[in-house]
Amino acid sequence: MKKIINKPENVVTEMLDGLAYVHSDLVHRVDGFDIIVRNEQAAGQVGLISGGGSGHEPAHAGFVGDGMLSAAIAGAVFTSPTPDQILEAIKEADQGAGVFMVVKNYSGDIMNFEMAQELAEMEGIEVASVVVDDDIAVENSLYTQGRRGVAGTIFVHKILGHAAREGKSLAEIKDLADKIVPNIHTIGLALSGATVPEVGKPGFVLAEDEIEYGIGIHGEPGYRKESMQPSRLLAEELTGKLLEAFEAKSGERYALLINGMGATPLMEQYVFANDVASILGDAGLDVAYKKLGNYMTSIDMAGLSLTLMKIEDEAWLEALESPVKTIAW
């Protein structure tokens, strides 16, 4: 294992300190906690929090700021944050209008966020949440009942963050969340596995010429391995599965996110984007919003994921396009 780290057990705390130092104009770390919060919370607005295991940077701390998250909790690498950490984030985010939690569909995350919600409600803070399960690759996985929550979560942060900034109530944000999540689907592929610093070796190993479709962001197994293919064929596989899941029809509007897994160069992501563009064009879809880059990674995994969101309401598109002040959007 070759990584630019000190002691593996100190990776998360040193990363958070480094992030808070570099981006001190936008965010700070809460003393004694693995939480990144906005420097200026918006009084009277619903607080919006998210979080999960570390290793997915820039998610989730990179999306803390005006127009997106109020706070983000970082668990240990690929490990759910604990209820006490989440509770502290709820308190930091609470500006009197309640707090909304965006939770990815992993058993540990759901259990710990729910526990924190109960503790917060005992302290008089109103809390609501949504569980994001956008990964269509496999049903039930190592850490998940149902479908996993992956890169589509970033669209949820963005749209709900806009709603919070517009002064929407907790109930209105919950209603919006329940409408947008079923309209977001993601599928990914890996060329190589990720190495957790404290483990020291990749979570899975693929042969030199092998890829795996449908992997999760913690290295969970996908649905098929095969020999490496040209970008065009990879794009046809992933795009085809998404269009099938949506039962997409010509003329429908979509938002697109191409997300790098951590070790895939932008050069390759843009080549893949070019192939996706022609496939979506052939299908007659109107791609009204596009984004590409490393948004929810898996440490040093080589690979990418493709997310489509069906735009059923013009306001969702306005929310995606609205300017924000964050590290990573």
The alpha-helical segments, DSSP class H, found in 247-296 are 266-282
Which of 155, 182, 209 delimits the end of a domain? Answer: 182
Is there a catalytic annotation at residue 28? no
Q: Which domain holds residue 234?
A: 183-314
Asked if residues 137 and 222 have their Cβ atoms less than 8 Å apart, the reply is yes
Considering the domain architecture, whether residues 115 and 32 belong to the same structural domain is answered as: yes
Which of 23, 56, 60, 162 is labelled catalytic?
A: 56
Indicate which CATH number applies to the domain containing 295.
Answer: 3.30.1180.20
CA atoms of 103 and 133, how far apart (whole Å): 9
Q: Where are the alpha helices (DSSP H) in 130-202?
A: 153-165, 170-180
Catalytic residue, chosen from 60, 162, 185, 218, is 218
As a whole number of angstroms, the distance between CA 128 and CA 121 comes to 10
- Pairwise CA distance, residues 131 & 144, whole Å: 12
pLDDT per residue of the chain (329 residues) written in tens, 0 to 9: 999 999 999 999 999 999 999 999 999 999 999 999 999 999 999 999 999 999 999 999 999 999 999 999 999 999 999 999 999 999 999 999 999 999 999 999 999 999 999 999 999 999 999 999 999 999 988 888 999 999 999 999 999 999 999 999 999 999 999 999 999 999 999 999 999 999 999 999 999 999 999 999 999 999 999 999 999 999 999 999 999 999 999 999 999 999 999 999 999 999 999 999 999 999 999 999 999 999 999 999 999 999 999 999 999 999 999 999 999 99
Task: Identify whether 325 is part of a domain.
Answer: no
Of 125, 157, 182, the last residue of a domain is 182
Cβ-based neighbours of 298, under 8 Å, separated by 6 or more? 55, 56, 190, 194, 217, 218, 219, 261, 262
For the question of residue 218 being annotated catalytic, the response is yes
Residue 57 shares a structural domain with residue 123? yes
